[in-house]
Amino acid sequence: MSDQFRPSEEQEMLRASVRALAEDKIAPRAAEIDETGEFPWDVHAALVAADFHAVHIPEAYEGAGADAVASCIVVEEVARACAASSLIPAVNKLGTQGMILSGSEDLKRRYLPLVARGEAMFSYALSEPEAGSDAASMRTRAVADGDEWVLNGVKRWITNAGVSSYYTVMAVTDPDAGANGISAFVVHGDDEGFSLGAPEKKMGIKGSPTRELYFDNIRLPGDRIIGAPGTGFKTALRTLDHTRPTIAAQAVGIAQGALDYAVGYVKERKQFGRAIAEFQGLQFMLADMAMHLEAARQLTYAAAARTDAGDPDATFFASAAKCFASDAAMQITTDAVQLLGGYGYTRDYPVERMMRDVKITQIYEGTNQIQRLVMARQVLRAR
Ligand code: COS
């Protein structure tokens, strides 16, 4: 495998067609989506019509069968226009990846075509009020009862909760077995005993609802378990190895959107009798932004390629890409606001939204402190 990411002609064509859709149907809506905080069903419909809403689903289950690199291209290009909208393809992958990796053939045939056809979305439910970074300390419990499981507990910070029809939920099935006593299940939004908390009032990605899930004695048929009992935590972590590159791609996309806007602005804005792009102090800022952005993109696609190939370094690369790209994107979007001066600080321009939106990429799918912990373990193990 090459260590450098050079897009193929097919990947360039995919990028161009997602960009065209994003510029036509998503970018004009981005400010309004942020302002109203409503889930953009029109954007969802446009993504489904173009088959960009869940490209990762294998062809055997009616999906587009896109690899991880192509999935990242889709998320990056949608995020360049609207970060909240990019969570439609990103969360569909996060929600179904565990089933793709560990689920029975029967489960895959039952659920994946629904997502592939755009008839349902799938969310991922790992975190709890008292179990964030320390995910294995979760308390949600599933107790076997005959052929069924009885589920009780609370999940928090669930992206696209309420708009998703299905949830991949990790729950303790053997309290004495620690991380190896956790199992993964499919929960339906209309299961009896399922309810939702109020939407969180967030800094950014406002068009993507984040809510709690409550499970009150939900009776799950035995065939709703994903993989064998006790394998759910590993399935959850393996899922994140596949999806942290997607978050890296989201960060790269948001940062590219901010850089593109700032470049256009500095060429037009005049001070001291000339375009501010002519001042070297600003040129150096633009150079640093572009340099860090390209480094982040290279690492993101190197990580994505490794997840597909089942490379032993995939865990390291996924964490490195997510951490590096989100830190770089936070700096780039902050600098974009700076380049626009006072205008950048107002909602009349998109860069303050991009700066708010990108902050979450340093936090979700594992904080960047956890990414460093994962990377350090991999580095020490390798040696
Ligand atoms: N893939 C498969 N298995 C993995 C794995 C991976 N990437 N990483 C660890 N495992 C295995 C371990 O080998 C261990 O199995 P054994 O007991 O059989 O050896 C098991 O999973 C438990 O792993 P570990 O002991 O490393 O678990 P810890 O409790 O120490 O925590 C961290 C692991 C901190 C890395 C994990 O809890 C984590 O990623 N936290 C962040 C959670 C997160 O990202 N939340 C966001 C949710 S999405 S918004």
Nearest Cα residue to atom 18 of ligand 1:
180
CA of 237 to the centre of ligand 1 (A): 5
pLDDT, one tens digit per residue, over 93-125 is 999 999 999 999 999 999 999 999 999 999 999
Mutate to test the pocket of ligand 1, among 97, 182, 234 (most ligand atoms within 8 A of CB): 234
CA atoms within 13 Å, Cβ hemisphere of 282:
21
Tokens of 225: 């378990």
Q: How far apart are CA 205 and CA 138, in angstroms?
A: 26
CA of 113 to the centre of ligand 1 (A): 29
Instruction: Determine whether 254 is exposed, middle or buried from the number of CB atoms within 10 Å of its CB (0-12, 13-18, 19+).
Output: buried
Please check the confidence at residue 9 and state whether its pLDDT lies above 80.
Answer: yes
Per-residue burial over 10-19, b = 16 or more CB atoms within 10 Å of its CB, e = otherwise: ebeebbeebb
Closest-lying ligand 1 atom to the alpha carbon of residue 134: 37
pLDDT, one tens digit per residue, over 20-69 is 999 999 999 999 999 999 999 999 999 999 999 999 999 999 999 999 99
Nearest Cα residue to atom 28 of ligand 1:
136
Closest-lying ligand 1 atom to the alpha carbon of residue 374: 35
CA separation, residue 369 to residues 71, 78, 115, 362, 363 (Å): 25, 27, 32, 9, 9
Report the predicted TM-score, pTM, of the whole model to 2 decimal places: 0.97
CA separation, residue 122 to residues 116, 125, 262, 314 (Å): 11, 10, 35, 24
Tokens of 5: 């990411």
- Quickly tell me which residue has 């910070």 as its tokens: 157
Nearest Cα residue to atom 5 of ligand 1:
237
CA separation, residue 94 to residues 124, 126, 236 (Å): 6, 11, 9
- Quickly tell me which residue has 């406002």 as its tokens: 206
Closest-lying ligand 1 atom to the alpha carbon of residue 159: 49
Containing 20, the helix (H) or strand (E) segment is helix 9-21
Closest-lying ligand 1 atom to the alpha carbon of residue 364: 49
Nearest Cα residue to atom 11 of ligand 1:
234
Q: How far apart are CA 91 and CA 73, in angstroms?
A: 15
pLDDT, one tens digit per residue, over 236-279 is 999 999 999 999 999 999 999 999 999 999 999 999 999 999 99
Give ligand 1 pocket residues (Cβ under 6 A): 126-127, 133, 135-136, 157, 179-180, 233-234, 237-238, 240-241, 315, 364-366, 370, 373-374
CA separation, residue 133 to residues 182, 185, 365, 369 (Å): 16, 21, 9, 9
CA nearest neighbour of 322 among 249, 380, 254, 375: 249
Containing 156, the helix (H) or strand (E) segment is strand 148-159
Q: What integer pLDDT is reported at residue 89 of this predicted model?
A: 98
For 122-230, the fitting CATH number among 2.40.110.10, 1.10.3720.10, 3.40.220.10, 3.90.1570.10 is: 2.40.110.10
Closest-lying ligand 1 atom to the alpha carbon of residue 94: 48
Mutate to test the pocket of ligand 1, among 130, 160, 237 (most ligand atoms within 8 A of CB): 237
Nearest Cα residue to atom 35 of ligand 1:
374
CA separation, residue 262 to residues 20, 298, 349 (Å): 20, 22, 10
Q: Which amino acid, one-letter code, is at 208?
A: S
pLDDT, one tens digit per residue, over 202-216 is 999 999 999 999 999
Instruction: Determine whether 281 is exposed, middle or buried from the number of CB atoms within 10 Å of its CB (0-12, 13-18, 19+).
Output: exposed
Q: What integer pLDDT is reported at residue 309 of this predicted model?
A: 87
Q: What is the DSSP string of 295-364?
A: HHHHHHHHHHHHHHHT-TTHHHHHHHHHHHHHHHHHHHHHHHHHHTHHHHTSTTSTHHHHHHHHHGGGTS
Q: How far apart are CA 202 and CA 206, in angstroms?
A: 6
CATH topology of domain 233-382: Butyryl-CoA Dehydrogenase, subunit A; domain 3 (1.20.140)
**Segments in 156-231 forming alpha helices (H):** none
CA nearest neighbour of 197 among 98, 109, 95, 129: 129
Nearest Cα residue to atom 24 of ligand 1:
179
For 9-116, the fitting CATH number among 3.30.70.890, 1.10.540.10, 3.90.1260.10, 3.40.50.12780 is: 1.10.540.10
The angle formed by the CA atoms of residues 112, 53 and 20, to the nearest 5 degrees, is: 155
Instruction: Band the pLDDT of 310: cuts 50, 70, 90.
Output: confident
Q: How far apart are CA 65 and CA 328, in angstroms?
A: 30
Please check the confidence at residue 1 and state whether its pLDDT lies above 60.
Answer: no
State the catalytic residues: 365
pLDDT, one tens digit per residue, over 287-306 is 999 999 999 999 999 999 99
Pairing, β 166-172 against β 122-125: parallel
Q: What integer pLDDT is reported at residue 4 of this predicted model?
A: 59
136 near 233, Cβ under 8 Å? Answer: yes
Tokens of 249: 């791609």
* For the chain, domain boundaries: 9-116, 122-230, 233-382
CA nearest neighbour of 111 among 91, 96, 94: 96
